[in-house]
Chain A
């Protein structure tokens, strides 16, 4: 599964997340995002979730007000890519509790962290939902501990 990139964008074409697994300059990324977003927004609801774009296969699905869009290579399995997208949505849903677009907007860095626990280099690293969420939970805990003011720790003699 060689995923080249994943984009999340709203129905107005605003980018909410962009994860790139191939080296491209900022300018190239902007151009690709713009072109692809326009192409997908122009598609009618009855059309299928796959399309050919440049030399890539694009797999996309709309969940409420967000489009999830992945670019994969020619020999990849589009149907399983749909499942990958779905799994990511489930993870976000479990983490945020009934996720909506606003959650992704205000907590975009968390959306990235969750994606990075699920996919690495464009491939699924952990197929158990529970394990991914557990890892995120632990990392979040680590972050909270790190942010705890030192004086408090010193007070209770735990430095």
Chain B
């Protein structure tokens, strides 16, 4: 049996393969050879074979048949075997398989080996992939090594202990005494640790040049960051500790050289620490100013972390962050997608009553030019901000119009009812709104949310539109027929979604009480009584019924008749069936009691009292019946007065 080929030779051979198929063939051939070698329990070449297997595994080929061989290598006395064996274990075994538990005994022996490099291998493997059972079994050995005088092993044992504690938190008690010794701390109590750490950190920044530890002139940045991290944990909920570290944090913040990334890394960790502990306000402002400086850095990585951190602190340190608003807004124009997103989120967080006009200008410009992935969030953000801080109703409506026309197809579905509500409440702007929406429809009927809101408005305020009552801008001349043309156009257009068609049919119907040309409307509605679209058909049929049965009410437009349309939509993922909407009003002594109709619009007779209504919804969702009761008593007074 010839000796198995060497690792490097195999790598060279495999790399000569010109196709995937050729490579697969070579691999299969070699795997077969390796398998038979394993079967023969060959000790001499096991190491070489496993190494080759690991290479093939990295290329993506299965190597599970080598798992037990790794265990045999770990158990071997040869250092080479152990090295490859442990490497194989870390690559091929995972703690979810029982096989890995077989390692426990070997690791235990190796933790007590006479050669520190073998002990190191064991510690490394345990710290990398030790399961909770293994950690529990071997915690004692690790704890012993924490107390060794060998610094090489102590460091490894410390990090291994960290892993053990993460896996089995109850074991923390066991490691506490040893840990305190590591910091050569004689007293007990956490607060003593802080001055100790402060001293160490101070020495680090003041100390001279130590070539092997330093990076670009900064002493041991990894250690500095680690200490800062530890200070962060200690000071988190502790006032005294936080106070004790104030000075050193300020010192690190002001003395660290920032020309290279490593200096900024330390500054960044300092900022994170200041933000997390109970620091005084001056220190927090210092931290935010550091972040503000980061925003101006040429290095986009630094700008990125600055925006991320500012986003986290904008709620708690709002005023300090506001000072950097213009820099943040500039980041909206950054080329990097992640930076743009953060800048957008931060910008929305910074909008308030004072800066709304300026900020909105920038954000609307951003909405115009940003990638599609941002548009939905940006549009929602604009609506929210406008609702909270709009300086005037006209400005508010204009802003909404701008969003609907520039990003209309990205607006979220729930914005439509919200916008309708908003428009309803802006009574004095009705004429202006419906006019602007009508004009927008003439330009473009492809953006569904815009079309839906516009349809609803026209249905509701169509009378204002044709009577040319607009005060805010030059009223346009439009006839009833032109309006109906537009709405009917929506019904037939391919661009209209089913929901949109529903909106426009209802709008047409509503205009039958506002326009004089009722016959045309009657005709349209009856056509759709036989529409293929079930939703439209149902509406049309019910509207037809209204024409037939309640036409007498229409003939004498009765100011005591209020038409209320409800829109109900199912936003769950399951189907809803047996939907029943019932409404009742207080009984009044009138000959014609209130009528309740099981359809989408109904009429209610009122007597000049306030309109109060009790509603009851019942439906079946996912097979189970649901019932909801409520009382509505905030009808706008105009509807019943």
The chain A residues found within 8 Å of chain B, CB to CB, are: 1, 14-21, 23-26, 30, 46-52, 75, 77-80, 82-84, 87, 105-106, 108-109, 112-113, 116-117, 120-131, 135, 138-139, 142-143, 145-147
Contact = CB atoms under 8 A, between A and B. Distances in A.
B84 interface: yes
Given A16-B58, A47-B337, A142-B117, A131 B212 contact: yes
Given A25-B94, A51-B338, A116-B124, A139 B117 contact: yes
B261 interface: yes
A120 B8 CA distance: 27
Nearest to A59: B301
Interface of B: 7-8, 11-12, 15, 51, 54-55, 58-60, 64, 78-80, 83-84, 87, 90-91, 94-96, 115, 117, 120, 123-124, 127-129, 131, 152, 155-156, 159-160, 162-163, 212-213, 215, 220-223, 225-226, 229, 261-262, 264-266, 268-269, 272, 300-305, 335-339
Nearest to B152: A135
14 contacts: A18-B58, A19-B90, A25-B94, A30-B60, A47-B337, A48-B339, A113-B87, A116-B124, A120-B127, A120-B160, A130-B212, A139-B117, A145-B79, A147-B80
B212 A26 contact: no
B272 A108 contact: no
A21 B129 CA distance: 7
Contact of B162 (A75, A105, A106, A121): A121
A127 B59 CA distance: 32
A108 B160 contact: no
Contact of B78 (A109, A131, A135, A146): A146
Given A25-B96, A116-B124, A121-B163, A48 B300 contact: yes
Nearest to B213: A128
A49 B301 contact: yes
B342 to A, nearest CB: 10
**Is chain B's interface secondary structure helix, strand, loop, or mixed overall?**
helix
A83 B262 CA distance: 7
Contact of A113 (B55, B83, B268, B302): B83
Given A48-B338, A127-B223, A142-B115, A120 B128 contact: yes
Nearest to A143: B80
Contact of B301 (A30, A78, A105): A78
A124 B226 CA distance: 10
Contact of A79 (B59, B96, B229, B301): B301
Contacts of A77: 225, 229, 265, 268-269, 272
Given A79-B268, A120-B123, A121-B127, A127 B222 contact: yes
Contacts of B127: 120-121
- 3 nearest CB pairs, A to B: A79-B265, A121-B127, A130-B212
B223 A50 contact: no
Contacts of B96: 23, 25
Contacts of A117: 120
Nearest to B164: A121
A146 B79 contact: yes
Contacts of B12: 106
Contacts of B220: 127
A112 to B, nearest CB: 6
B163 A48 contact: no
A135 B212 CA distance: 14
A69 B160 CA distance: 23
A79 B302 contact: yes
A48 B301 contact: yes
Given A79-B264, A135-B152, A120 B83 contact: no
Of the candidates B55, B83, B226, the one having the most CB atoms from chain A within 10 angstroms of its own CB is: B83
Given A80-B222, A83-B262, A23 B338 contact: no
Contacts of A51: 338
Contacts of A48: 300-301, 303-304, 336, 338-339
Nearest to B91: A18
A106 to B, nearest CB: 6
A145 B221 CA distance: 36
Contacts of A116: 124, 128
Given A108-B55, A142-B79, 9 more contacts: A25-B94, A77-B265, A80-B222, A82-B265, A83-B215, A105-B11, A106-B11, A121-B163, A125-B156
Contact of A83 (B95, B124, B152, B222): B222
B94 A78 contact: no
A82 B261 contact: yes
Contacts of B8: 106
A50 B124 contact: no
A108 B83 CA distance: 13
Contacts of B302: 79
B301 A112 contact: no
Contacts of A105: 11, 15
B301 A82 contact: yes
Contacts of B339: 48
B132 to A, nearest CB: 10
B599 to A, nearest CB: 48
A75 B268 CA distance: 12
Nearest to B268: A79
A16 B339 CA distance: 30
B265 A80 contact: yes
Given A52-B338, A82-B265, A147-B80, A109 B163 contact: no
Contacts of B83: 109, 113, 139, 143
B264 to A, nearest CB: 6
Contacts of B115: 142
Contact of A146 (B59, B80, B90, B212): B80
B278 to A, nearest CB: 18
A121 B159 contact: yes
Given A48-B338, A84-B222, A127 B213 contact: yes
Contacts of A106: 8, 11-12
Contacts of B215: 83, 87
Contacts of B213: 127-128
Contact of B159 (A18, A120, A146): A120
B394 to A, nearest CB: 40
A35 to B, nearest CB: 14
Contacts of B159: 120-121, 123, 125
A50 B117 contact: no
A83 B117 contact: no
B336 A83 contact: no
B585 to A, nearest CB: 52
